[in-house]
Structure 1
Amino acid sequence: MKRILSSLTDGKGFDLVLVGLPLVFLLLLSGLPLVYNVLMSVQQVDMFSMGSFIRPFAGFQNYVDLFKLPETRGILMNTAIFVVASITGQFLIGFGLALFFWVNFPGASWLRGLFLASWVMPGLVAGAIWNWILSGDFGVLNFLLKELGIIHANIFWRSDPHYSLWAVVLANIWLGTAFNMILLSVGLSGIPKDLYEASELDGANVWQRFWTITLPMMRSTIGAVVALGLIFTLQQFDLFAAITDGGPNNSSNVAQFWAWDLSFRQYDFAKGATISVIMIVFVMFASIVYVRSTRHEVRG
């Protein structure tokens, strides 16, 4: 004990403090809730046994019962559509903006800052804004589409089961595009300009330089961006709470919102925990992809 105290006082053990304190913090605030959630997914849980770790063991019965529910298939399909559409839209638009801002022009920094405003905005605030934009009676989106002649009658984006999920997808793409733009801009800035100059001298056009230089050099960055997009999209809750509340008739319900709804509205804590565990597996997979991508980038 004296040796530890002496190492801390002379500064040699300060690195242990820097590593140890965050580790304890993570174990208390992340590790314990994770273990508790996994335990609930294999136990019989009700309102009276929530505060106890010792409850009747259910094994995988909660998982079996979950997939027997009639709404499970539709909600999982909604989740897949939401994740794929959101990540694709955020990446394509973010990549396009990163390429656009790669060329310096007057006012580029100010314009880039406007795009970043959506990224720093809380999800509930963004949801409130998109509530106004997507309003069926006086929304800006319906007004613009009417002016362009694309639609002739108002579309009730939030309450129509054919459009409710896509309304949240649109809001989520807007919310996450700036984050994609920033990361992809960093990746673009790391590509040596000499490669483009040499290929241009060889007669390569813009598209050939993009396919043979930009994309191969951005491979690890793209992997990291997609992995982070998957993690953040699977955690997206605020937009659903603010825009559609999972309705109508589960048409815009996704796994992360359903887990909350089962736990805190229907008080079926076991099934809510079961969905959370399944989502944790996907998030851990995305985290592994992200770590491997960043490790490959550092080595490169």
Structure 2
Amino acid sequence: MKRIISGLWDGKGFDIALVVVALGFLMIFAGLPLIYNVVMSFQKVDIFSLGTFARPFAGFDNYRAIFADPIFVPVMKNTVIFIVASIVGQFIIGFSLALFFTLDFPGSGYLRGLFLVSWVMPGLVVGAIWNWIFAGDFGVLNFALRELGLIGGNIFWRSDTNFSLWAVIIANIWLGTSFNMILLSVGLASIPRDLYEAAELDGANALQRFWTITLPMMRATIGAIIALGLIFTLQQFDLFAAITSGGPANSSNVAQYWAWELSFREYDFARGATISVLMIVLVMIASVVYVRSTRYEVRG
């Protein structure tokens, strides 16, 4: 024991101690809740049995109940639309901004910094801002669309079943675009400039240089961004709570918000845990893709 303490004091093995502490932290605050959630998805758990571990074993009954629920298909459809639209929107706008900021012009650094404001803001604050923008009677968005002649009357973004999900998607795209822009800017900065100069001397135009140099060299970065985008989008809860609360008529309800509703409104913690397990599986798949992308980038 004295040798271990003296070794740590001298700096020998201190890195191992740091790793052990980090692993212990992850096991306590991430591993145990994860295992607890998975176990709970195979049990019958309500508000009366939540505080005890003596719960009836339910097998796959909770999973069958989730799949048989009438709103399962609409919720999963909304979830897929939300994920795909958010990732595509964030990536396209983020890539466009990253390419724009490769240009050398005065104030580019300050302007790039302003775009990070959306990323550091809490989701509930962003939701409150977009609530004001989406307001049907006095919202800024309706005012701008009317002035441009694109709409004849007000659109009630938060309470119309045709627009409620898209209202959250727009807010989420705005929230995550700056993150995509920063990562893509780093990827673009790592591409050697002489490749573009050589292609330009060979007569390649801007579009040809983009398709033959930029995209191939950014493949690993793009894969990592898409994987991270999937993880962050599946974790998005605040915007739904602040803007639509999953309504109206479940038109903007997604898996993560449905899990919260089952657990904390209907007190069906087992089914809420079941949805969480299904989401964890998707996050793990995205994490594997992300790790493989980063490994490819390091090897390249």
Structure 1 position 155 matched with structure 2 position 147: no
1:20 Cα shift? 1.1
* Residues 231-273 of structure 1: CA deviation (Å, up to 9, x unaligned): 0000000000000000001000000000001000110101000
Aligned to 1:241: 241
Aligned to 1:97: 97
How do residues 80-91 of structure 1 correspond to structure 2 at under 5 angstroms? 80-91=80-91
Structure 1 position 11 matched with structure 2 position 15: no
TM-score normalised by L of structure 2: 0.99
Gapped regions of structure 1 (runs ≥ 5): none
Aligned to 1:171: 171
CA distance in 1, matches of 2:107, 2:10: 51
Aligned to 2:290: 290
1:13 Cα shift? 1.3
Runs of 4+ in 1 over 4 A off after TM superposition: none
1:6 Cα shift? 2.5
CA distance in 2, matches of 1:54, 1:24: 27
Structure 1 position 266 matched with structure 2 position 266: yes
The farther-off stretch of 32-41 and 2-11 is: 2-11
CA distance in 2, matches of 1:153, 1:88: 29
CA distance in 1, matches of 2:46, 2:149: 54
CA distance in 2, matches of 1:210, 1:54: 61
CA distance in 1, matches of 2:47, 2:125: 32
* Residues 120-178 of structure 1: CA deviation (Å, up to 9, x unaligned): 11000000000000000000000000000000000000000000000000000000000
Aligned to 1:216: 216
CA distance in 1, matches of 2:3, 2:43: 45
**Alignment coverage as a number of residue pairs:** 300
CA distance in 1, matches of 2:265, 2:110: 44
Give the SS at the match of 2:129.
Answer: helix
1:54 Cα shift? 3.1
CA distance in 2, matches of 1:48, 1:2: 49
Structure 1 position 200 matched with structure 2 position 200: yes
CA distance in 2, matches of 1:44, 1:266: 14
Letter of the aligned partner of 1:284 in structure 2?
Answer: M
Give the SS at the match of 1:47.
Answer: coil
CA distance in 2, matches of 1:53, 1:231: 31
Aligned to 1:255: 255
CA distance in 1, matches of 2:53, 2:25: 21
Aligned to 1:24: 24
Gapped regions of structure 2 (runs ≥ 5): none
Letter of the aligned partner of 1:169 in structure 2?
Answer: I
Give the SS at the match of 1:48.
Answer: coil
CA distance in 2, matches of 1:87, 1:186: 19
* Residues 159-202 of structure 1: CA deviation (Å, up to 9, x unaligned): 00000000000000000000000000000000000000001110
Aligned to 2:47: 47
Letter of the aligned partner of 1:76 in structure 2?
Answer: M
Letter of the aligned partner of 2:274 in structure 1?
Answer: T
1:71 Cα shift? 0.6
CA distance in 2, matches of 1:3, 1:64: 56
How do residues 134-149 of structure 1 correspond to structure 2 at under 5 angstroms? 134-149=134-149
1:61 Cα shift? 0.8
CA distance in 2, matches of 1:262, 1:38: 16
* Residues 59-114 of structure 1: CA deviation (Å, up to 9, x unaligned): 11100011111011000000000000000000000000000001121011111111
Letter of the aligned partner of 2:277 in structure 1?
Answer: V
CA distance in 2, matches of 1:51, 1:38: 16
How do residues 179-198 of structure 1 correspond to structure 2 at under 5 angstroms? 179-198=179-198
CA distance in 1, matches of 2:123, 2:58: 36
Letter of the aligned partner of 1:132 in structure 2?
Answer: W
CA distance in 1, matches of 2:9, 2:239: 49
CA distance in 2, matches of 1:134, 1:69: 31
CA distance in 1, matches of 2:123, 2:9: 44
The farther-off stretch of 107-116 and 282-291 is: 107-116
Aligned to 1:132: 132
Give the SS at the match of 1:169.
Answer: helix
1:49 Cα shift? 1.4
